[in-house]
Structure 1
Amino acid sequence: MSPISIAVLAVGMSIDSLLVSVSGGASLRRGCRICDAVLVGAVFAVVQMITPLIGWTAGAAASSYVARFDHWLAFGLLTLVGGRMILLALRADEGEGRETSFIGTPVTLLFTAVGTSIDAMAVGVSLAFIKANIFVIVAAIGATTFLMSAGGVLMGRLIGNRFGRSAEVVGGLVLIGLGCLILREHLAG
């Protein structure tokens, strides 16, 4: 693959992480620190690097099995995290310090990262067929995901400061919408 193809692939694989990171940053109740953005960027990048490696390793043999449930898994995880964000935002009092963002707990951060990267497994399978240098591609995906996710958290925090609970509800709806989009794409195809 050419460097331009790798860059386009890396950005395309990172878009979901960017959108989710913006919604997570918008729903942070406490002040967003750089370490929050770095943590989200690192977790999303590592998971986004692992899933195409799993797909690449599994190759064509497991692709039909994984393709049967990957969309349902992504839909379920994103809907669960998004629904939790909405419920907590609607229940929270303005003065209350309850965390509604997926960034608030390690488990929901990991579930969200997995939910946004399930489709990368199928990309990994296809990369095995074209005999691409998986390690260069995975490094590009990881670096791009890290930068886009960390930047998304910081950008989302700016949005959250201006729009408060409304931004939290919209963030949850974005996660649910992304899960529905993934499900619809797989069921329609």
Structure 2
Amino acid sequence: MSVLSLILTAIGLSMDAFAVSLTTGFKISKDDRSKIALKAGMYFGGFQALMPLIGWILGVKFTKYIQSVDHWIAFVLLTVIGGKMIFDGLKGEEDNEFEDVHSNKKFLLLAIATSIDALAVGVTFAFLGINIIKSITIIGVVTFILSIIAVYIGKVLGNKLTNKSSIVGGAILIFIGLEILVEHLGLFAK
């Protein structure tokens, strides 16, 4: 696999992390922006690199098990987190929710949910004999950079959506979960 193909794969894998980082940036203060952007980059970039490595280690033997449930795991995690954000936003508790979203526990759950697909990609890399060190380095770095950029973009958008950012962020997470589920179930295949 060429470096360009790996970069394009990394961009594709990082889109969920990008969207989540975007919503994370909505309600952070200017003082917290750099800290939260770095945290998003480290969690999302780290898990996007770790999951293909785990998949590669597991190898082809477990492909059918991983591919059969990855979309359900991502869908459930993103829907639960997004639903809670919407519920709290409707109740007027969005400020507390966004502070909580920045917790390590929330970042861990979101990082796992957005990187499940990368696990299956790692299995594919093992099957194709692709250099795993080069692959996970590119995937991790691309996701790290895009996640940081997304937090900064989200901060700009958050200033325009101050009162309803929890609802918008929750809706985006649910949409990502639905997109993953629909894509893997092939519900709208041509």
Q: Is TM > 0.5 for Structure 1 vs Structure 2?
A: yes
Q: Tell whether the 8 Å contact from 2:78 to 2:176 is kept in structure 1 after alignment.
A: yes
Matches within 5 A, 1:2-13: 2-13=2-13
Q: Which residue of 1 aligns with 2:159?
A: 161
CA deviation map 1:125-148 (0-9, x unaligned): 111111111100100111111110
Instruction: Give the SS at the match of 2:97.
Output: coil
Instruction: Compute the TM-score of the two structures, normalised by the length of structure 1.
Output: 0.91
Q: Which residue of 1 aligns with 2:90?
A: 90
Q: Which residue of 2 aligns with 1:117?
A: 115
Q: Tell me by how many angstroms 1:87 deviates.
A: 1.7
Instruction: Give the SS at the match of 1:100.
Output: helix
Instruction: Compute the TM-score of the two structures, normalised by the length of structure 2.
Output: 0.91
Q: Tell whether the 8 Å contact from 2:75 to 2:177 is kept in structure 1 after alignment.
A: yes
Q: Aligned in 2, Cα 1:78/1:30: closer, same or farther, shift over 3 Å?
A: farther
Q: Which residue of 2 aligns with 1:68?
A: 68
Instruction: Give the SS at the match of 1:132.
Output: coil
Q: Which residue of 1 aligns with 2:106?
A: 108
Unaligned runs of at least 5 residues, structure 1: none
Q: Which residue of 1 aligns with 2:140?
A: 142
Q: Tell me by how many angstroms 1:2 deviates.
A: 1.3
The number of residues matched between the two structures is 187
Q: How far apart, CA to CA, are the structure 2 residues paired with 1:67 and 1:102?
A: 31
Sequence identity percentage: 39
Q: Which residue of 1 aligns with 2:129?
A: 131
CA deviation map 1:126-173 (0-9, x unaligned): 111111111001001111111100111111011111111323211110
Q: Which residue of 2 aligns with 1:25?
A: 25
Q: Tell whether the 8 Å contact from 2:24 to 2:102 is kept in structure 1 after alignment.
A: no
Q: Which residue of 1 aligns with 2:37?
A: 37
